[in-house]
Amino acid sequence: MGFLYVLIIAAFILSIWAQFRVKGTFNKWSKVESSTGMTGYDVARHMLDTNGLQDVPIEPVRGALSDHYDPIHRVVRLSEPVYYERSISAISVASHEVGHAIQHKEHYPMLVLRHKIFPVVNFASGIAPFLILGGIIFNALNLVGLGIIFFSVMVAFQLITLPVEFNASSRARDIIVQEGYIQRDEERGVGKVLNAAALTYVAAALISLLELVRYIAIFTSNRE
């Protein structure tokens, strides 16, 4: 158990570091203007249109790094700096979000799966800690077991998120180079921005996975 706690703490430190790094990398490449002079909006609009997604609107939203693709309303939402600015960061993030819209259109299997389990995830992740904690306090192993099952749903969701995120980024990189939204020598910056973002998802999944191992360890040690 001691070693497991060390791993969990290490994963937390990795996660905090990843959060700082994604902000730092984004800010750094925000100052580097793209040679084509395209804004995040320009790139997103062009990418959507050339992929048969003319009906998907793009909206600016408040908040830093709040960019996302909304699969329910089929809208690409870009944070204001990404929407309006002509930087390597803006183009990177905008093209990544369009990558999700293209995944949706093509029924990318991992995305379909992610959407399928999403409705249960909020409920499952909300109730799991109470079941596990309650089970330990009242020494009710069945509750702990049930909590572990609910918690597993959340872990599965986070693990499925990883290929979805990596795939959106690799689609984005391919398209922006092919379409000439950036020059070849600017690809390094795009890679840095997208990789920094991906690491935050890896760290979050790692924390959840280790938490799950910890719960299972508690469960099995109590059963003996």
Q: Catalog residues that contact Zn ion under the rule CB under 5 A.
A: 165, 168
Q: In terms of CB distance, is 46 or 100 closer to Zn ion?
A: 100
Burial of 24 (0-12, 13-18, 19+ CB in 10 A): exposed
Query: At 62, is the secondary structure helix, strand, or coil?
Result: coil
User: Treating both helix axes as pointing N-terminal to C-terminal, what angle do 109-137 and 88-105 enclose, rounded to 10 degrees?
Assistant: 90
Looking at beta carbons only, is 111 or 131 nearer to Zn ion?
A: 111
The CB-of-143 to Zn ion minimum distance in angstroms stands at 35
Dist CA 115 CA 99 (whole Å): 16
**Closest distance between Zn ion and the C-beta of residue 168, in Å?**
5
- Residue 9: closest CA among 224, 207, 192, 219: 207
124 vs 197, beta carbon nearer Zn ion: 197
Rounded to whole angstroms, how far apart are CA atoms 39 and 181? 10
106 noted as active-site residue: no
Q: Which residues contact 133 (CB under 8 A, 6 or more apart)?
A: 147
Residue number, 43 or 168, with CB nearest to Zn ion: 168
Report the nearest approach of Zn ion to the CB of residue 176 (Å): 15
In whole angstroms, the minimum distance from the beta carbon of 65 to Zn ion comes to 11
For the bound state, the minimum distance from the C-beta of residue 134 to Zn ion, rounded and expressed in Å, comes to: 35
What phi, psi does 72 have (nearest 5°)? -75, -50
Residue with smaller CB distance to Zn ion, 180 or 191: 191
Amino acid at 154: M
Which candidate in 97, 165, 186, 211 is catalytic? 97
**CB distance 151 to 128 below 8 Å:** yes
Active-site residue numbers?
A: 97
